[in-house]
Structure 1
Amino acid sequence: MAALRAGDAPTAILAAREAADADPAALSLWINLALACRIGGDTPGERVALERALELDRLDFTAQLRMAQLLQREGEETKALIAWDGVQQLAQQYPGLPDPVRAELAAGEAFCGQLRSRLAEATTAALAADAGERDETERRRIDAFAAAALGQRRIYANECAGLYYPFLPADEFFDRRHFPWFAALEAEAGAIRAELDALLAEPGEAIRPYVRMEPGSPENKWTVLDGSLDWSACFLLEYGVPNAAVIERCPHTARVLDSLPLARIPGRAPNAFFSMLRPRSRIPAHTGVTNTRAIIHLALDVPPGCGFRVGGETRQWVEGKAFAFDDTIEHEAWNDSDARRAVLIIDAWNPHLSERECAAITAYFAANDAALG
């Protein structure tokens, strides 16, 4: 160390190597040797010293950082990108790192950002050849695959609070081709909205807070919406049971619902309700009950500034248009506008289930209810 301070790198390298050879299990001595070699321009020696240090402790932060920097200097870009990813993950465990080290991490992240940009450009070019020939499913899956491979997005898994059906695709948004009846539903959007507007003009007790927690529930992410009309609902069908008072005021909407191939399980499904989100309100990220269903949103009254995220994909509602998603994938919604947002939400079967599987699920619930009362 004295030789390093004096600027005598050759002497420092000899002394550090002698010390490391004398006590090869001392990780710090190999790191000292790597430092001396680095200052002295002995890259092969530095690499050997860092490899020995990592053999002693694969999670040593300093050794990982110096190895990432060495690989970067040597132009070994693929290895450097992997090494820097490991360093950044390890750095999260050390919130009190000094500013000089933070600066080194920032420089490494900038380097990785440049590499990822090059990879993204190359990937986009490579995948563009037949892009125009892809159907909706292929486009969404290829885009998600490429983004995940490039570290640009996360792939989300199902998280069911209730019934989980195995081996179904964990798809965020379902493709429209699974729902050939969407066009008929969308054709009724104007009439459905007219009934909603009339209902909202004199809501009475039809509108209620969507979130109603049990008394004594501990504080959680839903507390801010508990009992609040910031997120409100008006149910036409609740667990398959018609809400006569609302259906009487929305007969056209009720007839539309009767005509749709919804998930119908006595006492359990479907739900069908108007969902209202007040200005400057947000529904926190959450997951649903079962992946056996698809949740349908028909946009009725959507001002600019509203958004909806399912997993790694964010969409905006388009008035008069419907989409379907798996609500056991983490999702959230927001209304950053100064006006109310309103959509119709209904339950349908997960389109990846066959008719026999839907019948089996219905039979399961019937047997469950009969056996347990």
Structure 2
Amino acid sequence: MLRESDEQGVARTESGAGQAPPGERYVRPSQKGLVAFGKRLRDPVNRFLARQSRIGDDPVIDPALVPGLAEVAPHWREIRAEIEPLIRERAQIPPFGKISPDHRRIASTPAWKSFFFQGYGYHAAENEARCPRTSELVASIPGVIVAFLSIMEPGTHVPLHRGLTKSWLNCHLPIMLPTTPGRCEIAIDGQIHRWREGEWLVFDETYRHEVWNETSEPRVLLMLQVQRDMKLPGRIATRMIYHAVRNSRFVGDVRKAIGS
């Protein structure tokens, strides 16, 4: 249940199992005036939150600064073993753009799939039951806001965009990375980063970022959003943002899609 920015763009798919018919596209619905007003407030609010951060304001954050991540990372092979049946049948996993219409500017085709566990206090009980060990590991991490498997098919490109708030951090745990030649990486604030299986990549989503999988195999991450360590005024502001998003149409769309 990420929030994306105003930048235009599409995700495309060219080859590989689990993909949808060529040319299928999703169109994002018109955004309400309240959403547009919120986006105008985003930058001044994030400047305030940056001053409240106890872990700095760098684009990429040391995973050791996020409680619970270090304890989960060594178990990545257990997660991989548990999700392998899902990935073999990933044609049944819904595209991110169908689950979250708000994201259709960056997820406009079935190339980017998502298997949700939880978001904003709501749980996808059926999905958690299919992956009990993964769900148990996620539950051991304090301050999780969103948790899902992020699956990018061969040929996927997620264009340059930025997220809503500095209140929480994006945390990627690579579970299955392509072994075939081709570009598989993320650019964060203009710097290229490549994932390593079992090693967290933690970054601030308010910095512009862009993602590619130009190999012939899918790329699978455990994707979390986790609360940033803040001073008290920042924690209060973060709580207000959390409740505003939790009760928004955006989260309502996702809840409906995942049966939460």
Coarse TM-score class (shorter-chain normalised): 0.5 to 0.7
Per-residue CA deviation, residues 344-373 of structure 1 (Å, 9 max, x unaligned), is 10011123x136632553256559989xxx
Matches within 5 A, 1:1-373: 161=39, 164-165=45-46, 166-168=48-50, 170-203=57-90, 205=92, 207-212=93-98, 222=106, 225-226=107-108, 228-263=109-144, 270-304=145-179, 305-351=183-229, 353-354=230-231, 357-362=234-239, 366=243
> Larger Rg: 1 or 2?
1
Per-residue CA deviation, residues 38-96 of structure 1 (Å, 9 max, x unaligned), is xxxxxxxxxxxxxxxxxxxxxxxxxxxxxxxxxxxxxxxxxxxxxxxxxxxxxxxxxxx
What amino acid is aligned across from residue 219 of structure 2 in structure 1? R
Instruction: Determine the C-alpha separation between the residues in 1 that align with 2:243 and 2:188.
Output: 31
What amino acid is aligned across from residue 196 of structure 1 in structure 2? I
Instruction: Determine the C-alpha separation between the residues in 2 that align with 1:366 and 1:335.
Output: 34
CA contact (8 A) 1:349 1:358 kept: no
Instruction: Determine the C-alpha separation between the residues in 1 that align with 2:124 and 2:105.
Output: 29
What amino acid is aligned across from residue 299 of structure 1 in structure 2? P
Alpha carbons of 1:358 and 1:276: their partners in 2 closer, same or farther (altered >3 Å)? same
CA contact (8 A) 1:172 1:329 kept: yes
Q: Secondary structure at the match of 2:142?
A: coil
Unaligned runs of 5+ in 2: 1-37, 51-55, 248-260
Instruction: Determine the C-alpha separation between the residues in 1 that align with 2:244 and 2:186.
Output: 37
Larger relative contact order (CA 8 Å, sep ≥ 6): 2
State TM-score, norm by structure 1: 0.48
CA contact (8 A) 1:273 1:345 kept: yes
How much has 1:329 moved relative to structure 2? 0.6
Whichever structure has more helix as a proportion of its residues is: 1
What amino acid is aligned across from residue 345 of structure 1 in structure 2? M
RMSD: 2.9
CA contact (8 A) 1:172 1:313 kept: no
Per-residue CA deviation, residues 245-275 of structure 1 (Å, 9 max, x unaligned), is 1001000111111110124xxxxxx110101
How much has 1:239 moved relative to structure 2? 2.8
Identical aligned pairs, as a percentage?
Answer: 25
Per-residue CA deviation, residues 3-25 of structure 1 (Å, 9 max, x unaligned), is xxxxxxxxxxxxxxxxxxxxxxx
Whichever structure has more strand as a proportion of its residues is: 2
